[in-house]
Structure formats: structure tokens, C-alpha cells
């Protein structure tokens, strides 16, 4: 028999009957309470039922002890009623008032119910545990199919080496148990924590989201890509956990100065630390990193200011290669489901599912506009047609309204050299954002022109013939073509495209 007693105060109102004969109402606990706490049972004082009769109910077997002040449920297996009638001690067992005098049947029903409940709980736990094991086995098999083991990557490495394998436990210690105070940020694939290894190195540890069904693919992809690469403007991968780790973790060098997005329009923007010369260098170093990737047949596919990290000297470290793709030079495009960040995704890639190196060029064009404007790539507070910064830039540049686009605090109105460079960078961005991929420059050409702009060495033959820029002239003053219909190709010192009679290049 099971009794459930709800303890909410020193007052109790529970109805019992002695084999169906006597109704017993529980009253106030008798003092001293201290004595009750030291016992393995509760004793309840029963109010007087009839003259000359005092009743005590003793819970002989108690499963759990309950503080009197706490509202909890106590399970009691046996209730004994002690009658004192005319100084004679009479003991009888009691059953719950909701039951029946047929105590055997009552006990059977209760035991059956409790047993059935326990069986269901055990069965549910068994099913959950089996599914969890199956999921872990599936993830492990995916890892084995994709790379067999982390050491197998070393066969394909070009410039890098096989990544170091960390244990989950040492990274857990390094991040203080993945403490919230250690969080550096989170993104589409996982949360990044600051950690300190036993050898003293400060690192960034990315913990991939467990609810991301592509996390294994992205994990392997990033390890594979970064293990191949070695460039001063790409983040360094120190290592990762193995395929059998309880969590998939990636360990990078720690870049202390935040992201470009933080400095432009985020948590560090109030510092105004990104002067125009620094922004110009950021543009060049980012373009050089992308040019290196494209040279080794890799498309980043998620170029954005939150993936461009800065060290204490404001040098660039491009990060986050979870979406990157190997791109054989002999093919014109790769057909794949569009992935990336809204505001940066190439419209042609989004519409036609065709990924090329020009998709990175489009995203980099958005980054250039952010650098000259300090505006976010997507801002819902802007007018409907200008929520996307790319649309705003094309509109402003086309209508000779660059002044309304650029961040005037950079010195656009006060320094002629700064104005010259910003105007030229706006032209480069305009070319990168063309809807027709054939009209976009290669990232290699972009690097060359950006260096020319910084050094002031761009030859006159590369200037727009119909819209020649003077120091105080509006950008693209005589441009007659919309961004959708510009037909000229991009000119650089390393290429010699033949242009149409009305075409012009940077």
C-alpha cells in the first residue's frame, strides 16, 4: 500500500479509514519536532474521534524524509493505528479512504500501477539511450567515411601539416568548462571560447552546435581546408578533437582585436580605431587572402566582416572555412545549394545554384562598401530598397551620391587624398557588385588595383574615359549605364581586355 502525503505546513487534512470502519483526520504534529527529525518515520497526532478514545497514526516505513517547511510528497508503505481505549493498547493497520476494505485487491491495483509506470520509464530510457548510441555511431561512421581518421589528412596536405588531436577533457579545462565568461561569440556553426592550453598558448576554441545536422561535414571541411593552407592573412588551425570525441571542437590561434564588423558598426565602433589608412590596408590584406585561396582552388563562400579578424596591429586574419569549397580550375562553376550570410550572397549563386570564384568577389564588394560607409550589410531600419547595403551602394554610386554613402568622419570632405582613395575604392566595389559575373573583376585584379589606389600609382589609361575623375568631381559623373547593364570589363595592369567603344575600366 502506498500513501502520498502532501506536506505544506504543520496542518494536515488527509482522510483515512481503518479497514473501512473509522474515518481518521490528521491534525497537528505533536511536539517536539526535533525528535521527529531524528526518526525514520513521521508520527501524526489524530484529533479525538469520540470520548475516551485517543488515536495515533504512525508511518512505520518512510521512503524519504521531508522538511516540514517544504511542499513535497512523502511515500509511506505502512500505516499503523494505535488505539488507547480504557488504558488498553490496540493496533490496527489502516488503508487510504479512497480504497476498499478488500486490501488485497487494493494492493494489487497499486502495485500494478506503480510497476507499469516504472516499466514505461525504464523502456523510455532504454529507447533514448539506444537512439543516442545510434546517432553517435552514425556520426563516427560519417567521420570515418570522410577521412577515416584525422591522420589521413596528412596524405593530401600541400603546405600545412596534419592537425594536432586534442582531447575533449584538455579543452574543457582550457575553457573553464566552456564557461559563458569565456565566450568570444557565436555564429552559424558554433560558439567560440577563449582558452589557455597547458603549454601557455592562448587559443580560440570553436564548439560546433550539436543541433546542426551538417556539423560533421563542416568540421571535416574546415580541418581539411585549413590544413592545406599557410598564409599570413589566414587564421591558423592548431588542431581539433578526434572523431570519437563527445563534442567536435576546433582550436585556432587567438586573434585579440575582434572582427572588422565589431569596429565598423559593432561593440568597438565607438572607439573609432579604424582610420582610413587602416581600412585601406584591411581591404588589401583581405583581398590578398582571397587571392591566395583562389590560387589554390578554394572558394571561401562566406566572406563577411564578422569573418575578418584583426590582431593588435590591425592586420587581417580571415577565418571560418566551414562553408569553403574546393574548386577545380578546369570547371567553370560548381552546382551546390546556396549557403552563406544574407546581404553577402552572390545573387546569381542564390538564383542559379552556380558557385564560382566571382561569388567571393561579390561578397568582397559588400565588405568594401562597409569599409567606406561604416554601415552594416543588412539593416532592417533602412528603407525597403536599401535594407541590403549592396543595393544602397549601387543606387548611391549610380546617382552620383557617394557623399551620402561614405562615412564622413573618415575625412572624405576634409582631405583630398582620402577622398581620392575612397572614390576609387567605391568604383572597385561597384564593379564587384555587378549582377553579371562576367563584368566582375577577378580577385587578383582587385588586389592589383587596390594597391595602385593606396600607392597613388594607377595609370591614366585605366581610368574611366567618359567619367574621368578629378579631385572634386562626382564619382562616375557621366555614367549612363545602370548596374544591370554596364557592359565594360574590368581593366588591370595584368590583363588586357578589349573593351567596347562605350566601355571603361578602373
Query: CATH number, domain at 434?
Result: 1.10.510.10
> For position 213, which CATH number holds?
3.30.200.20
Q: Are residues 96 and 157 in the same domain?
A: no
pLDDT score for 161: 55
Question: 198 is written with which cell numbers?
Answer: 597547458
Catalytic residue among 224, 262, 302, 360: 302
pLDDT score for 441: 97
Asked which of 17-31, 127-141, 244-258, 397-411 is least confident by mean pLDDT, the reply is 17-31
453 or 123: which leads in pLDDT: 453
Known binding residue 206? Answer is yes
Q: Are residues 425 and 297 in the same domain?
A: yes
- Residue 293 inside a domain? The answer is yes
- Residue 108 inside a domain? The answer is no
pLDDT band per the 50, 70, 90 thresholds, residue 111: low
Q: Are residues 226 and 354 in the same domain?
A: no
pLDDT score for 459: 55
pLDDT score for 320: 87
- Domain termination site, one of 36, 69, 101: 101
pLDDT score for 27: 37
- Residue 22 inside a domain? The answer is yes
Sequential DSSP letters for 360-396: HHHHHHHHHHHHHH---SB-TTS-GGGSBHHHHHHHH
Q: Is 199 a catalytic residue?
A: no
pLDDT band per the 50, 70, 90 thresholds, residue 72: very low
- Residue 497 inside a domain? The answer is no
Q: What is the pTM assigned to this prediction?
A: 0.62
- Domain termination site, one of 228, 253, 278: 253
- Domain termination site, one of 237, 253, 269: 253
pLDDT(253) > 70: yes
Mean pLDDT over the full length of the chain: 71
Q: Are residues 362 and 451 in the same domain?
A: yes
**Which structural domain, as residue segments, surrounds residue 45?**
3-101
Dihedral of CA atoms 141, 145, 150, 154 in degrees, nearest 10, equals 170
pLDDT(393) > 90: yes
Q: In this structure, are strands 72-85 and 53-62 parallel, antiparallel, or unpaired?
A: antiparallel
pLDDT(207) > 70: yes
Q: Are residues 386 and 272 in the same domain?
A: yes
pLDDT(340) > 50: yes
Q: Are residues 267 and 344 in the same domain?
A: yes
The stretch 370-378 carries a mean pLDDT of 96
The stretch 208-225 carries a mean pLDDT of 80
299 or 464: which leads in pLDDT: 299
Q: Are residues 234 and 275 in the same domain?
A: no
pLDDT band per the 50, 70, 90 thresholds, residue 8: very low
Q: In this structure, are strands 334-335 and 3-7 parallel, antiparallel, or unpaired?
A: unpaired
Asked which of 162-166, 300-304, 463-467 is least confident by mean pLDDT, the reply is 463-467
Q: d(Cα 295, Cα 288) in Å, to the nearest integer?
A: 10
The stretch 413-432 carries a mean pLDDT of 96
Q: What share of the chain is helix, strand, coil (3-state, %, to 5)?
A: 40, 20, 45
Q: Are residues 292 and 440 in the same domain?
A: yes
Q: In this structure, are strands 88-93 and 72-85 parallel, antiparallel, or unpaired?
A: antiparallel
pLDDT band per the 50, 70, 90 thresholds, residue 108: low
Q: Are residues 77 and 156 in the same domain?
A: no
pLDDT band per the 50, 70, 90 thresholds, residue 215: confident
Q: d(Cα 284, Cα 496) in Å, to the nearest integer?
A: 22
For the chain, the straight-line distance linking the first and the last C-alpha, in angstroms and rounded, comes to 90
- Residue 280 inside a domain? The answer is yes
Q: Are residues 72 and 204 in the same domain?
A: no
Q: How far lies 325's CA from each of 13, 171, 442, 504, in Å? A: 71, 28, 17, 33
pLDDT band per the 50, 70, 90 thresholds, residue 226: confident
- Residue 140 inside a domain? The answer is no
Q: Are residues 239 and 291 in the same domain?
A: no
Q: How far lies 491's CA from each of 449, 475, 498, in Å? A: 9, 18, 9
Q: Are residues 389 and 271 in the same domain?
A: yes
pLDDT band per the 50, 70, 90 thresholds, residue 477: very low
Reference 377, options 322, 429, 437; nearest CA is: 429
- Residue 222 inside a domain? The answer is yes
Q: How many CB atoms lie within 10 A of CB 13?
A: 8
**Residues 212, 217, 220, 224, CA torsion sign:** negative
Residue bearing cell 489502516: 94
Split into its structural domains, the chain has a count of: 3
- Residue 468 inside a domain? The answer is no
Which residues does 235 contact at the CB level (< 8 Å), separation at least 6? 226, 252, 253, 255, 309, 317, 318, 319
Amino acid at each position: 500500500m502506498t500513501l502520498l502525503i502532501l506536506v505544506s505546513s504543520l496542518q494536515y487534512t488527509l482522510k483515512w479509514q481503518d479497514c473501512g470502519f473509522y474515518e481518521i483526520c490528521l491534525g497537528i504534529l505533536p511536539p517536539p519536532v526535533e525528535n521527529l527529525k531524528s526518526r525514520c518515520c513521521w508520527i501524526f497526532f489524530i484529533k479525538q474521534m469520540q470520548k475516551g478514545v485517543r488515536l495515533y497514526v504512525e508511518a512505520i516505513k518512510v521512503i524519504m524524509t521531508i522538511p516540514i517547511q517544504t511542499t513535497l510528497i512523502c511515500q509511506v508503505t505502512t500505516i499503523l493505528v494505535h488505539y488507547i481505549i480504557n488504558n488498553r493498547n490496540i493496533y490496527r493497520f489502516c488503508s487510504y479512504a479512497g480504497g476498499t476494505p478488500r486490501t488485497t485487491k487494493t494492493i494489487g491495483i497499486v502495485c500494478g500501477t506503480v510497476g507499469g509506470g516504472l516499466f514505461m520509464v525504464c523502456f523510455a530510457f532504454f529507447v533514448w539511450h539506444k537512439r543516442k548510441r545510434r546517432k553517435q555511431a552514425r556520426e563516427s561512421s560519417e567521420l570515418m567515411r570522410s577521412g577515416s581518421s584525422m591522420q589521413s589528412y596528412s596524405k593530401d596536405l600541400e603546405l600545412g601539416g596534419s592537425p594536432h588531436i586534442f582531447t575533449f577533457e584538455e579543452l574543457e579545462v582550457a575553457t573553464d568548462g566552456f564557461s559563458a565568461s569565456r565566450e568570444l561569440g557565436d555564429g552559424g556553426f558554433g560558439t567560440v571560447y577563449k582558452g589557455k592550453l597547458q603549454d601557455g598558448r592562448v587559443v580560440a576554441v570553436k564548439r560546433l552546435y550539436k543541433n546542426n545536422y551538417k556539423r560533421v561535414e563542416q568540421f571535416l571541411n574546415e580541418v581539411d581546408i585549413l590544413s592545406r593552407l599557410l598564409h599570413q592573412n589566414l587564421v591558423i588551425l592548431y588542431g581539433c578533437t578526434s572523431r570519437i570525441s563527445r563534442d567536435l571542437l576546433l582550436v585556432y590561434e587567438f586573434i585579440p582585436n575582434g572582427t572588422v564588423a565589431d569596429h565598423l558598426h559593432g561593440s568597438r565602433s565607438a572607439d573609432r580605431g579604424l582610420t582610413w589608412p587602416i581600412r585601406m590596408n584591411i581591404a588589401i590584406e583581405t583581398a590578398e587572402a582571397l587571392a591566395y585561396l583562389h590560387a589554390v582552388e578554394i572558394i571561401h563562400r562566406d566572406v563577411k566582416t564578422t569573418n575578418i579578424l584583426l590582431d593588435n596591429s590591425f592586420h587581417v586574419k580571415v577565418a571560418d572555412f566551414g562553408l569553403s569549397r574546393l574548386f577545380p580550375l578546369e570547371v567553370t562553376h560548381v552546382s551546390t545549394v546556396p549557403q552563406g550570410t544574407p546581404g553577402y550572397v552572390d545573387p546569381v549563386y542564390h538564383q542559379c545554384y552556380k558557385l564560382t570564384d566571382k561569388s567571393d568577389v561579390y561578397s568582397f564588394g559588400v565588405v568594401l562598401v562597409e569599409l567606406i560607409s561604416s554601415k552594416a550589410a543588412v539593416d532592417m531600419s533602412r528603407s525597403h530598397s536599401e535594407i541590403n547595403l549592396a543595393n544602397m551602394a549601387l543606387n548611391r554610386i549610380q546617382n552620383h551620391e557617394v557623399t551620402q554613402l561614405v562615412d564622413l568622419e573618415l575625412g572624405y570632405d576634409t582631405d583630398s587624398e582620402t577622398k581620392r582613395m575612397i572614390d576609387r575604392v567605391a568604383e572597385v566595389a561597384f564593379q564587384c557588385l555587378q549582377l553579371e559575373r562576367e563584368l566582375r573583376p577577378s580577385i587578383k585584379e582587385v588586389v592589383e588595383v587596390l594597391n595602385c589606389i593606396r600607392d597613388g600609382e594607377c595609370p591614366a589609361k585605366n581610368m574611366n574615359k567618359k567619367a574621368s575623375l578629378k579631385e572634386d568631381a562626382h564619382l562616375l559623373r557621366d555614367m549612363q549605364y545602370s548596374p544591370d547593364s554596364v557592359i565594360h570589363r574590368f581593366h588591370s595592369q595584368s590583363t588586357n581586355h578589349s573593351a567596347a567603344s562605350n566601355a571603361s575600366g578602373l
